[in-house]
Amino acid sequence: MALFKTSFFIAPLFFILFSCSEPTNMLQPLNPSQPILAFGDSLTFGYGADTNQSYPAQLSKLINRRVINAGVNGELSGEGLLRLEKLLDRYKPQLLLLCHGANDLLQKADLEKMADNLKKMIKMAQDRDIQVLLIAVPNTSLLLTPLKQYQQVATQMNIVVENDLLADLLAQPELHSDLIHPNHLGYQKIAETIAQLLKKQGAIE
């Protein structure tokens, strides 16, 4: 099951940008020899584009590091929670790029439970000394505002969050493959934004 299971109108010009207030250098420099794990649902998998055009694949080329694509189409956050531990132990990444919860939103699941699942995933990584960057999913309203739960989770778990990226992308129809999923240009924008954020945070040069 792919992420896109509902339909709603996207307003191309009207969305509210959320500013996050994390310190400038919350991420430690990354070791080029250790992988990065991109974990999530179809937005991570790259639904709507070729495999080599997913955001993890494009990010890997941009930053010259191995980025493992661990996205599963249609996955709920509770399913992701059950899947993550084995991947962390198998790949031993130095950074977890976590973009999850969109299907919970689309299926009108309990968003507080979704937030709790995210916190458990983050703690699972932190217990292994793995840094985490959280990527927020926007609400399905016309304004595409970032869900408050992502900033709350990031604040509680003391991690970096990118609140605006997906809201910004979904407000630009030329970056879509459908109403929800990016096309290859959209995934390129995700990769470029994450690469810039990693540089700003001091994780890469």
- The whole-number average pLDDT for the span 128-145 is 85
pLDDT for 163 equals: 93
| Cα(166)–Cα(136) distance, integer angstroms | 7
pLDDT at 50 over 60: yes
User: For residue range 69-85, what is the model confidence (pLDDT) as tens digits?
Assistant: 999 999 999 999 999 99
pLDDT at 2 over 60: no
pLDDT at 171 over 80: yes
pLDDT for 15 equals: 35
Average pLDDT, the chain: 88
pLDDT for 25 equals: 54
| Cα(118)–Cα(178) distance, integer angstroms | 26
Q: Domains for the chain: give ranges and CATH numbers.
A: 36-200 (3.40.50.1110)
pLDDT at 126 over 80: yes
Helix (H, G, I), strand (E, B) or coil at 169: helix
Which residue's entry shows tokens 């307003």?
11
pLDDT at 164 over 80: yes
- The whole-number average pLDDT for the span 174-200 is 94
Highest mean pLDDT among 22-26, 56-60, 163-167: 56-60
pLDDT for 26 equals: 86
- The whole-number average pLDDT for the span 86-110 is 96
